[in-house]
Structure 1
Amino acid sequence: MLITSLLPLLSRYSLGFDLAAGADSSVTLTIMPRKSEGAKNAPSVVELQAISITATPAEIDAELALGEAGALGQLVIARKALGDQLAEQRQQAEAAKTKAKPAPTAAKASSAPAKPEPAKAAAPEPKPGEPASLW
């Protein structure tokens, strides 16, 4: 059940495992995602956070037997969705970088100092009894 639960993560990462016995007959299972060989993008720090479960061996076995419905299965699904979203955002950012190349004329125009506009003549004073003109 453990490997079946972790298959979605194995498509993106290499996984390391650590199994340690506790003092009160508990066991801590730690799953450590790592960058897989030949991966295009380095995983983010969030994606590489270890998953740790501490319980009795029977409780861990029961949790793993739940598969996708269990806490580990749900965590793996959420991690895979996060990884997919991050990969999609990286692709979109790369596509935006290649599309948004500055035009040479725009660079020249923005680097030249702006010419001050000539001062407009002040509106003539209205004659007594007439409203002021807006034009």
Structure 2
Amino acid sequence: MNYLKKSVRIGANYYSEFLQRSNKSGILKTVEALSMIFTETTVRASFKDLVTNVLTLIVVLELIRAFVDYFEYERVRIETVLEVLIAFIIREFMIHLFESTLSGLEVFLWCAGIIIVVFARTLSIIYRPDKVLSKINQSR
């Protein structure tokens, strides 16, 4: 069991290092895209790239935070996973919006999906396992 924890920590450290490096390159891409806004003939294309890079950066930051939470609590909290999912869904939704490929029904379905995941995150905070266990122990 001890070897398993050590190997998981080593693997996660390497993955965390990879995410940090990709985060730095994401920041550089974002700055580059920001400079291209002023030089491109089509502002819309460069703005779409900028939005995509910024939203990807947010998703990577959420993933890094999930790893930090894992090492702090030695488990993956459902709130953290749902926050990463929310960031990813919003990223994909924004990319499709800037490509102008969505119909009205698809926009409604994307928004409904985001609302469902946000509602699930709210429920995961309200019915946290430590809160539920403390209420059960108090009632005894």
Q: For the superposition of Structure 1 and Structure 2, which TM-score range results when normalised by the shorter chain?
A: 0.3 to 0.5
The TM-score normalised by the length of structure 2 is 0.32
Q: Which has the higher helix share?
A: 2
The TM-score normalised by the length of structure 1 is 0.32
Q: Which has the higher strand share?
A: 1
